[in-house]
A and B are shown apart, each in its own frame.
Chain A
C-alpha cells in the first residue's frame, strides 16, 4: 500500500513538473519560482501542522491521564509549538523572498 502510494505520488509529481521543465527556457524563472513557492509553503504548512497536531494530542492525553502534570506538559507544549511554528515562519520568509524579492531573477 505504502509502496504503491509512493509510486503514484512520484508519478504525479513528475507529470506536474515535466511540462514546466520542458516549457521553461532561459528566462522563465518566474513560473518555476512560483511553483517552488507554492510547493514549499504547502510542504511546510502540512508538515508543521502534522507536528503541532501530534504534540497537542500527546499533551491532551498526558493531561487527561495525569492532571497534576498539566503544568509541566503545558510548558513543554508551548516550547514545542514555538519551535514548530518558527520553522513554518522561516519557510514563509523564504517563500516571500522567492516570490517578491526574486533573487533568481524576474
Chain B
C-alpha cells in the first residue's frame, strides 16, 4: 500500500518536474494541493450523492488549484528573472487573474452554483498551505530535538 502510494507520488512529481516545477518544495506543495482538491471533491460527491453542492465545491477546488498551479510556476521566475522576459510574465500573471475572474463570473451569475460550496472549495488552498506550514514546523522541531 505504502509502496503504491510512493509510486504514485513519484510519477506525479516526475510529471510536475517536466512541467517546470524544479524545486522540490514547490512540487510537494502543488502535488498536495492536487491530491487535496481531487480527494475532497470525490469524497464529498460520494457522501452527498453527487449533489449540486458537491459540484460547486469541485468547481471552486478546481479553480483554485489551477490558479495555484499557475502562481507556483510564475512566482520563482518573478524573483529570479533568469530569462529576462518581463512581458510574458506579466501577461501570464494578469491573464491568470482575468481568467479566474471570468470563471467566477460564469459560475456565480450564469451557472448559479452554491456560493458557500464555491468558497469552501476555494479554501482548500488555505488548508493545504496551513498544513504544509504546520508539518514543516513540526519537522523542524523534531530535527532540533
Contact = CB atoms under 8 A, between A and B. Distances in A.
B75 A77 contact: yes
Contacts of A72: 25
Contacts of B29: 75, 78-79
A75 to B, nearest CB: 4
B16 interface: no
Given A71-B25, A93-B108, A81 B122 contact: no
A73 B79 contact: yes
A96 B102 CA distance: 11
Given A92-B104, A93-B119, A70 B80 contact: yes
A63 B125 contact: no
A63 B80 contact: yes
A73 B23 CA distance: 12
Contacts of A35: none
A17 interface: no
Nearest to A79: B129
A100 B109 contact: yes
Nearest to B77: A74
21 contacts: A59-B79, A72-B25, A73-B79, A74-B76, A78-B71, A79-B29, A81-B71, A82-B71, A82-B125, A83-B126, A86-B64, A86-B122, A89-B67, A89-B104, A92-B101, A93-B115, A93-B118, A96-B104, A96-B105, A96-B109, A101-B115
Given A63-B79, A75-B25, A75-B26, 18 more contacts: A71-B23, A74-B23, A74-B76, A75-B29, A77-B75, A79-B129, A79-B132, A82-B68, A82-B71, A85-B67, A85-B71, A89-B67, A90-B119, A92-B104, A96-B104, A96-B108, A101-B108, A101-B112
Interface of B: 23, 25-26, 29, 64, 67-68, 71-72, 75-76, 78-80, 97, 100-101, 104-105, 108-109, 112, 115, 118-119, 122-123, 125-126, 129, 132-133
Interface of A: 56, 59-60, 63, 70-75, 77-79, 81-83, 85-86, 89-90, 92-93, 96-97, 100-101
